Each structure stands twice: as structure tokens, then as C-alpha cells.
């Protein structure tokens, strides 16, 4: 008998994946959690029926949400990740030699525990002594840590349910205050194909707070449409104008210094969402 995972995040479209093996399913305090092994994408983390990351394509998301802000900032030392319990963002952040500390603020401890067990390729840096794990509400944590971080990365689930408060102007104002004077923030901000209103709303909210606000794109096969947006807000530094010639070379599979600039060149229908 064939087993298929059907993701119905988008109301009028679904994505399906043939499952080789179900590794774990459980209901945590916050959500339904599953890790399955698929034929096309390898092991896959699924929360509330929505694919979060897979072994085959996770590097795209994790490299783009981290290296764009970290290479834009001239000297990032302290980094906060809100969400991101799979550990992929932490893994990429710690490739930067200037980083002294990463705080992972994840509301669901069981996501971290199960990813350590089943997705070690992604979660491998969570035991690094530079990484501090805080289990709790990201909104509350940001509110309580003013002027504390050089970079804040909002590696959240989609803007429904528990993650809804992580999308919006009031939270971005809190992030602004959480950042140091040269600080930069990045958030994953959904697909312009299926959720253009979310992309437009997040961009406008961020722009109302940050002097420099930019939208950039990446191709992530397992996310709806395969075409994904990120929104960057910066107090000072423009990611398209930064000099990358002297930055350290790191091991990546998707991010390049050329792509750093190119990913901000948007198709017209996406650019229109920023106007």
C-alpha cells in the first residue's frame, strides 16, 4: 500500500509526497508534530500538517535567511533566532567567525528534541557551546531584551495559529528595539504567488519601522509554489550596497556573493507588492 503525505496549506492547491516510512507522530503542547522519510525529499519535518523542512532542500532556506543579514552586517556578534527549532539557521549562523553567541528562542521543546534525534544533518549545531537554547514565547523574549542583538532572524512557521503574532508591525517595532544601533532583522514572509496579501502586509509593516527595508526571493521546492520571499529590515546597512569583496568564504550550496545582490532583483509582480 502506498502512503502519501498531502499538504493543504493553500486552500485551492495541494502538494503530495510519497512516504517511505513514518518516523514519529505526536501531539505536543503546541502543535501536531511528524517526521517522515519520503522518497523524493528524504526526511521531512511536518508541523500541523505543513512541511517545514526536508533533508533535500533545507539548505536553500537556511542559507538565505541567515547569510544575507550576516554578510550585510559588518561585525555580527550576537544573533537571535525566533523559532527555528530544527536548528538549520543556527548551523549556518555559526559558520560566521565573528559570531560569539546565538540564542535560539523556540516555543516547543519537543521540536528541538525530535529534530536532534531524527534530523541530525540539520540540528547538528545545537550542541555548540556558542548556542544558547531558550524555550519560551519569542514575542515576550524580544520584548524583554532591548538593544541586545546585532541580527534577529524570525524563522517561524506560517502566519496561522501560534505564529500569527510573529507577523506584524507591533512585533517589528519590538524587534527594532531588541536590535543594537546597527542591527538587521530578516523574516520568512511566504509566497507571493498564493499569499500576496501577506507579503505586501509584512513588507509595509517592516517599512514603517526600519529605514532600510528590502524583499528578496529564493527557490525552495517543497514550499507552496517553490518561490519564497524573505523581508529584511535594517537600521543602517543596505544589503544591495554592501561590499562583499573582503568577506570570509564559507561552505554553502545555494548562497553566493553574486546571489546576495541578485536575489533582491524582483519580478515585476513581486516588486509591485512593495509599492
Q: Name the residue with cell 485551492.
A: 12
Instruction: Identify which of 33, 56, 30 has the alpha carbon closest to the alpha carbon of residue 43.
Output: 56
Distance of CA 51 to the CA centre of its chain: 13
Annotated binding site for S-methyl-5'-thioadenosine: 31, 106, 137-138
Euclidean distance between CA atoms 82 and 113, whole angstroms: 17
Euclidean distance between CA atoms 68 and 231, whole angstroms: 11
Euclidean distance between CA atoms 134 and 107, whole angstroms: 8
Annotated binding site: 31, 62, 86, 106, 137-138, 155-158
Q: Single out the catalytic residue among 57, 150, 155, 205.
A: 155
Our answer to whether residue 155 is catalytic in this structure is yes
Grid coordinates of 164? 500569527
- Reduced to 3 states, what is the DSSP secondary structure of residue 77? coil
Query: What is the secondary structure of 112-127 as a DSSP string?
Result: HHHHHHH-HHHHTTTT
Q: Please, which residues bridge with residue 103 across strands?
A: 80, 132
Grid coordinates of 186? 530578516
Question: How big is the chain, counted in residues?
Answer: 275
Exposed/middle/buried for residue 267 (C-beta within 10 Å: 0-12, 13-18, 19+): exposed
H-state helical runs in the chain = 58-72, 88-93, 109-118, 120-123, 138-143, 169-178, 196-207, 257-262, 268-271
Q: Please, which residues bridge with residue 186 across strands?
A: 153, 232
Annotated binding site for spermidine: 62, 86, 155-158
Grid coordinates of 188? 520568512
Looking at the annotation, which residues are catalytic?
A: 155
Amino acid at each position: 500500500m502506498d502512503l502519501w503525505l498531502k499538504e493543504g496549506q493553500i486552500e485551492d492547491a495541494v502538494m503530495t509526497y510519497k512516504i517511505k516510512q513514518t518516523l514519529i507522530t505526536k501531539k505536543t503542547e503546541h502543535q501536531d508534530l511528524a517526521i517522515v522519510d519520503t522518497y523524493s525529499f528524504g526526511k521531512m519535518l511536518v508541523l500541523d500538517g505543513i512541511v517545514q523542512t526536508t533533508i533535500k532542500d533545507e539548505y536553500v532556506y537556511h542559507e538565505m535567511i541567515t547569510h544575507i543579514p550576516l554578510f550585510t552586517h559588518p561585525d555580527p556578534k550576537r544573533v537571535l533566532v525566533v523559532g527555528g527549532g530544527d536548528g538549520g539557521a543556527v548551523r549556518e549562523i555559526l559558520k560566521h567567525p565573528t559570531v560569539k553567541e546565538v540564542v535560539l528562542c523556540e516555543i516547543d521543546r519537543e521540536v528541538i528534541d525530535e529534530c536532534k534525534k531524527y534530523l541530525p544533518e540539520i540540528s547538528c549545531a545545537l550542541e555548540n557551546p556558542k548556542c544558547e537554547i531558550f524555550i519560551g514565547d519569542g514575542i515576550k523574549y524580544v520584548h524583554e531584551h532591548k538593544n541586545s542583538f546585532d541580527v534577529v532572524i524570525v524563522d517561524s512557521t506560517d502566519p496561522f495559529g501560534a505564529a500569527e503574532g510573529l507577523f506584524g508591525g507591533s512585533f517589528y517595532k519590538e524587534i527594532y528595539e531588541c536590535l543594537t544601533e546597527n542591527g538587521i532583522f530578516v523574516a520568512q514572509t511566504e509566497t507571493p504567488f498564493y499569499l500576496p496579501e501577506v507579503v505586501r502586509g509584512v513588507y509595509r509593516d517592516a517599512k514603517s519601522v526600519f529605514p532600510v527595508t528590502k524583499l528578496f526571493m529564493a527557490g525552495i521546492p517543497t514550499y507552496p509554489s517553490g518561490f519564497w520571499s524573505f523581508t529584511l529590515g535594517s537600521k543602517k546597512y543596505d544589503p544591495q550596497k554592501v561590499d562583499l569583496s573582503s568577506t570570509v568564504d564559507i561552505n554553502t550550496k545555494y548562497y553566493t556573493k553574486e546571489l546576495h545582490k541578485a536575489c533582491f532583483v524582483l519580478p515585476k509582480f513581486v516588486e509591485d507588492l512593495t509599492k
